[in-house]
Structure 1
Amino acid sequence: MSGKSSWPELVGVMATAAATQIGHDRPDVAVEVLPPGAPLTPDYNDHRVRVFINLSAVVIQTPVIG
């Protein structure tokens, strides 16, 4: 499925709202919400969107496919 691949408009948004929006836009991908210091695998996965948040659960980086 093709479609949106990044969500710059979600920077500054609460994690739950961001994950919901990504899931609505791209129901074919898994959304991973990652707090500071979470361990990461270096693999690219076109069925995943990582959402990086701060300690207040606010998105701090543009979520992208991969």
Structure 2
Amino acid sequence: MSKASWPEVLGWPATAAATQINADRPDVAIEVLPAGTTVAPGFNSERVRVYFDAGDSRGPVTATPRVG
């Protein structure tokens, strides 16, 4: 079964998290977005959104990235 969430990347720099997700699931598109960004609703099995803290120079991931 394909991996569907990445709780281990919480607190990581967003770029490192995106790299890890891409290594695990090269078949999905990864969107890296500042936390609080408004996005269109709906599930997409070919997408993972990575939310990061734009106010921190390290841009740590603030929520568990998951397929959808």
Give yes or no for TM over 0.5. yes
Which residue matches 1:36? 35
Q: Distance in 2 between matches of 1:22 and 1:38?
A: 20
Query: What amino acid sits opposite 2:38 in the alignment?
Result: P
Q: Could you give the per-residue CA deviations for residues 3-62 of structure 1, whole angstroms, max 9, x where no partner exists?
A: 100000000000000000000000000000110332201011000000111122110110
TM-score (norm. length: structure 2)? 0.89
- Unaligned runs of 5+ residues in structure 2 are none
1:3 and 1:14 mapped to 2: Cα distance? 23
Residues matched between the structures, number: 65
Map of 1:7 onto structure 2? 6
RMSD of equivalent CA atoms: 1.0
Q: Normalising by structure 1, what TM-score? A: 0.92
Identity %: 54
Q: Where does structure 1 differ by over 3 angstroms across 4 or more consecutive aligned residues?
A: none
Match of 1:60 in 2: 62
Matched, 1:26 2:28: no
Which residue number corresponds to residue 50 of structure 1?
49
